Amino acid sequence: MNLQVALLCSSIIFAQTKEFTLKEAINIALQNNHQSKISKVALEIANAQYNQALSANYPAINAMVVGQRLKEDVVFQQRGEFALSPEMVGLFSQLSGGAVSITTTPANIDTTALGRDTVKGSLNLLYPLFTGGKISSVIEQAKLNKLLAMNTIKRNDLTVVYDIKKYFYGYVLTNELYEIAKSTLDRMNYVSDLTKQFYESGSSLNVKKTDYLSIQVTVALIESIVAKIEANRFMVKSALANAMGLAWDSEINPKYTNNELLPPEYSLSKLVQDAYKTNSDIRKMDIALKISKEQIKEQKAGHYPSVALMGELSHTYNSYEFGYLSDDKENSWNVGFAAEIPLFDGFKTTNMVNEKKLEKKKLYLLQDMLKEGVALQIKNELNNALLGFKQIQTLKKAKKLARDSRELNIRGYQIDAITPQKVIESQYIESYVKADYLKYVHDYLLSLAKIDNLIGKEVK
């Protein structure tokens, strides 16, 4: 019954443990990465802003309804006299038999011109005909901002890929070091038991009490090292799970499958040229320079006139059927244009153009510094990879020699032909060589990952 419970618990634990390769870990991290999700939303925002900018190419048509009530009707008042025409003066003279000569008539008029209630509905149109290139430059800037958002997504993805490789290789290193330390501890426990037998039986000419105590101290030190490496392995595994976006209590089991290390047969000049084209930071500077160019164009538009077409179609209702808004004047339309011509603004536009030109010059200088920095980093990582690969090949041979030496010393110690110090030394040398080999493998793989990150894509 207890055996069945144990098997059931072990099967549940195994089912909850996620086993994956490096490629699978990268895919999971890219799906779960919160920063990438934020960047994708930023791209949607940039796309919406681009569509907003495109609206400047179309006419603006607005409908408006205005209703108002005045305190009272608008009354038209006129005071004075009208001068009569010569024909009217002659007519009045004939009617009066020449007795009266009238040349003017009173013009004291009080009449309703507009009722107190008015409702006006209108359809207005405004269409820019010429803005000096301002609209086209604003649209182009919005388009380039979309490219910036896309570049940010790519940059975040590259960072995720590099982080996963760093933690994945770190886990592989600590896990292998843990296995080496455990194996060394097991062998030293065997040596300790063998030394104890030699010492207690008194049959060995090489083993003394001090040797036995020295081996006990060595075993204790190795046990401490095993515990430290195990703690580091747990921390790196937790960091990897976190970078993948997994839950805090997720159990993972990374599997490194690429055991064949290929030499870094890269051309430095080719890598640098590729980086100039695809590095996300350099690409960002390229886009920023294009935006700066459009900003200069936008500011230069202030030197040119702006011309717009205007039109209005309206219908007006007034509570007074005569006056200003009689039936035949209720419907109205007009078409015209407006031109704004800049004459003098205190050199404001000129200085704004100069400011944008200086900002563009600054961006060029920053881009040159960035390119130089990226090239130096690639050169450094490629040199590290080349040197690391040579060390890996050398240590691969040294591992075999150290293992043969350790096995030979153990066999010699078993027949009391080797001193304990020689046995301990051979154990240390083998462990050191294996650990050094793993360290160079880790650094080599990390250098390749850094090169991929600097280039902006995986280098085959």
Assigned domain for 123 exists? no
In which band, very low, low, confident or very high, does the pLDDT at 81 lie, cut at 50, 70 and 90? confident
Residue 233 to residue 231: CA distance in whole angstroms: 5
Residue 398 lies in a domain: yes
Q: Do 187 and 245 belong together in one domain?
A: yes
Which residue segment(s) compose the domain that 238 sits in?
A: 15-58+131-304+342-455
Among 215, 224, 236, CA closest to 181? 224
pLDDT value, residue 372? 96
In angstroms, the CA 54 to CA 138 distance is: 9
**Residue 354 token pair:** 């100069």
pLDDT of residue 204: 74
Q: Do 107 and 80 form a contact (C-beta atoms < 8 A)?
A: yes
Phi-psi region of 456 (alpha: psi -120 to 50; beta: other; left: phi over 0): left
Residue 2: inside a domain, yes or no?
A: no
- Distance separating alpha carbons of residues 459 and 202, to the nearest angstrom: 63
pLDDT of residue 205: 75
pLDDT at 419: 87
For 111, counting Cβ atoms within 10 Å of its Cβ (0-12 exposed, 13-18 middle, 19+ buried), the class is exposed
Answer yes or no: do 138 and 81 share one domain: no
Q: Write down the pLDDT at residue 98.
A: 66
Structure tokens at 276: 């100039």
| CB-based burial label for 301 (10 Å; 0-12, 13-18, 19+) | buried
- pLDDT at residue 89 greater than cutoff 80: no
**95-104, 130-139, 233-242, 383-392: the lowest-pLDDT one:** 95-104
Per-residue pLDDT of 227-251, as tens digits, reads 999 999 999 999 999 999 888 788 8
**Helix H segments across 117-208?**
134-201
Q: Give the pLDDT band of residue 77 (cuts 50, 70, 90).
A: confident
pLDDT value for 2 = 44
DSSP string of 258-323?
A: --PPPP----HHHHHHHHHHH-HHHHHHHHHHHHHHHHHHHHHGGGS-EEEEEEEEEEEEESSSSG
408 and 260 together in one domain: yes
Q: What is the pLDDT of residues 414-457, one digit of tens each?
A: 888 888 889 899 999 999 999 999 999 999 999 999 999 999 98
What CA–CA distances, in Å, run from 364 to 18, 285, 357, 371? 48, 8, 11, 11
Q: Look up the pTM and report it.
A: 0.78
Average pLDDT value for the chain: 88
Same domain, 78 and 135: no
The two tokens of residue 385 are: 């990879």
Res 145 pLDDT > 50 = yes
Q: Within this chain, do residues 272 and 380 fall inside the same structural domain, yes or no?
A: yes
Mean pLDDT of 374-393: 94
Maximum C-alpha span of the chain: 173
pLDDT surpasses 50 at 12 = no
Q: Which of the four pLDDT bands, split at 50, 70 and 90, describes residue 1? A: very low
CATH number of the domain residue 24 falls in: 1.20.1600.10
**Domain total of the chain:** 2
Overall average pLDDT of the 321-338 stretch: 86
**pLDDT exceeds cutoff 60 at 362:** yes
Residue-level pLDDT at 86: 80
In sequence order, the 6+-apart residues with CB closer than 8 A to the CB of 327 are 321
Residue 284, domain member (yes or no): yes
pLDDT band at 109 (very low <50, low <70, confident <90, very high): confident
Each residue's pLDDT tens digit, 14-61 = 445 678 899 999 999 999 888 888 888 988 999 999 999 988 888 999
**The predicted structure's pLDDT at residue 99:** 65
Q: Report if residue 139 sits inside a domain.
A: yes
Give the separation between CA 460 and CA 70, rounded to whole angstroms: 81
Predicted pLDDT of residue 27: 92
**pLDDT score recorded for residue 146:** 94
pLDDT at 459 over 90: no
How much is the pLDDT for 144? Answer: 95
In the predicted model, is pLDDT for residue 269 greater than 80?
yes
Do 239 and 297 reside in the same domain of the chain? yes
Q: Are 164 and 22 in contact (CB under 8 A)?
A: yes
- Give the total residue count for the chain: 460
Please indicate, yes or no, whether residues 192 and 84 belong to a single structural domain of this protein: no
Tokens 């209590």 locate to: 249
- The answer to whether 228 touches 162, Cβ cutoff 8 Å, is no
Same domain for 199 and 96: no
Strand duo 306-318 + 331-340: pairing: antiparallel
Task: Tell whether 238 and 267 lie within a shared domain.
Answer: yes
Residue 353 has pLDDT above 80, yes or no: yes
Asked whether residue 147 is assigned to any structural domain, the reply reads: yes
Q: Domain check: are 92 and 221 in the same one?
A: no
Question: Could you tell me which residue, 259 or 230, shows the higher pLDDT?
Answer: 230
pLDDT of amino acid 4: 44
User: Are 266 and 202 members of one domain?
Assistant: yes
Question: 182 and 228 in one domain?
Answer: yes
372 domain-assigned: yes
Q: Give the model's pLDDT for residue 38.
A: 87
Q: Looking at the domain assignment, is residue 141 inside a domain?
A: yes
pLDDT of residue 13: 41
Is pLDDT at 5 greater than 60 in this prediction? no
271-297: pLDDT as tens digits: 999 999 999 999 999 999 999 999 999
CA 409 to the chain's CA centroid:
58
